[in-house]
Amino acid sequence: MLNIAIAGLGIVGAGVVRLLRQNAELIAARAGQPVAIKAVSGRDKNKKRDCDLSSVDWIDDPRKLASMPGIDVVIELIGGAEGVAREVAENALKAGKHLVTANKALLAAHGVALARMAESNKVQLSFEAAVAGGIPIIKTMREGLAGNRVVSVQGILNGTCNYILTRMGEAGLSFEEALREAQQRGYTEADPSADIDGHDTANKLALLAALAFGAEPDLASVQIEGIRRITPLDLQFAHDLDCRVKLLGVARLTSAGLEQHVGPTLVPQTSPLAQIDGALNAVLVRGDFAGDLMLEGAGAGAEPTASAVVADIIDLARGHRVPAFGVPAAQLKKLTPAHATYTARYYMRMQVMDKPGVVADISAILRDEAISIESLLQRGKSATESVPVVITTHGANAKSMRKAVDKIAGLATIVERPCLLQIED
């Protein structure tokens, strides 16, 4: 019998309890032994939860779960990179207990240290649920693509942002209106900043990049931009360009180093990622031998995330062991970050005064930064005598493009700072 303890009884923790209870016979058959919940810990013992805890020990301090006799696996579902969550994880590994976690922030910040701790204590660190909810992307990359050199990984990794952008495109809602709708549907936290500002996606991307390229997670080098500045007009222009706007996390290894960026991106309609709508997630991985593989599904919520947690538990029950990031922690590389040295195509929307010579001034700035214009789109006049103008570029150096945006923003004829989006080919 495999005995587990669960730290954190929010919607995911309660979902894990329900799944282990409801499918106990099936799980035991697939795991090769029964899985028993021996102890749990949560913020409020008296809180009403949609799961049966009548036969389980309640421990007020989750940090003490690791020291309980007979516990084989500690499940950390508290969240956050520091504090109690980190202590629970470290205590479990130091005590020789396997650790299963859904905590992407913890792993992005301390994953290498935790992996070393797991290896030194001969236990497993598993985190399928930390990225893309119920989508088995960690196992796919760590094991299914183990014989491939990964060329790139990119994904829609935040359901909240995908829902907002979908509704803005479908119904012409403003960003604020679509955000309120997402909150009403329970797709985001009371404070949605981590989602809409791109930090949730960045944590997940750092983990995927580590798995893809055998590197230490490097969250500090991820270029991050959220979706607050996206307007329905951007989605209309994207449609005119036969694209859709998605918040993408992209990682690829280039001659300049490891490129990692998160931001609203124009994705061609021909890309499978362009077809992912609502609160769904998707990850597209390109291997040198496997080619393109895309996995899509529910990226959050009690049931999908619980499914991923229990998949890790079953692997542990079977005796399956694998380095957390695909190779031993000592072999993880420290890759040089590409920062803004990579080349990409760009979409730039500007609100400009409707005066002669404006486009010429903009073109001169782009010329001076060695940026070539691919197309120019303009819509009619507004009540304020300013008009939206969109320029798309051929491949341009990222640093030069941002320098050009700064210069253009300083022109007297520019009403507001240009909105810059990458075009992902």
Which domains does the chain show, CATH number per domain? 2-134+305-329 (3.40.50.720), 137-298 (3.30.360.10), 343-423 (3.30.70.260)
* DSSP state, residue 417: P
Residue 231 neighbours by CB distance under 10 Å: 14
In Å, how far from its chain's centre is CA 195? Answer: 9
Q: Which residues pair with 393 in a beta bridge?
A: 373
What's residue 413's pLDDT?
A: 93
pLDDT by residue (tens digit) across 142-182?
A: 999 999 999 999 999 999 999 999 999 999 999 999 999 99
What's residue 355's pLDDT?
A: 86
Strands 98-101 and 150-156 turn out to be unpaired
**Which one of the listed residues 97, 104, 204, 246 is annotated catalytic?**
204
CB 74 within 8 A of CB 99: yes
The dihedral formed by the CA atoms of 253, 258, 264 and 269, expressed in degrees to the nearest 10:
0
Residue 151 neighbours by CB distance under 10 Å: 15
What's residue 354's pLDDT?
A: 84
What's residue 383's pLDDT?
A: 53
Helix %, strand %, coil % of the chain (to 5): 40, 25, 35
Strands 150-156 and 73-76 turn out to be unpaired
Look at residue 396 and give its three-state secondary structure: strand
What's residue 51's pLDDT?
A: 86
In 3D, which of 27, 7, 112 has the Cα closest to residue 313?
A: 27
What's residue 79's pLDDT?
A: 93
In 3D, which of 317, 333, 335 has the Cα closest to residue 325?
A: 333
pLDDT by residue (tens digit) across 379-425?
A: 765 556 789 999 999 999 999 999 999 999 999 999 999 999 999 98
Task: Please say whether the dihedral angle defined by the alpha carbons of residues 231, 236, 241 and 245, taken in this order, is positive or negative.
Answer: positive
| Distance in angstroms (rounded) separating the CA atoms of residues 289 and 339 | 28
In 3D, which of 238, 259, 257, 234 has the Cα closest to residue 249?
A: 259
Show the low-confidence residues of the chain (pLDDT under 50): none
Residue 300 burial by Cβ neighbours in a 10 Å radius (0-12, 13-18, 19+)? buried
CB 142 within 8 A of CB 207: no
Residue 204 falls in the annotated catalytic set: yes
| Distance in angstroms (rounded) separating the CA atoms of residues 336 and 61 | 41
CB 416 within 8 A of CB 356: no
CB 311 within 8 A of CB 128: yes
Residue 336 neighbours by CB distance under 10 Å: 12
In Å, how far from its chain's centre is CA 63? Answer: 27
| Distance in angstroms (rounded) separating the CA atoms of residues 303 and 50 | 12
What's residue 156's pLDDT?
A: 98
What's residue 183's pLDDT?
A: 92
Q: At 161, which amino acid appears?
A: C
pTM for this prediction: 0.94
What's residue 205's pLDDT?
A: 98
Looking up tokens 């909810």 gives: 133
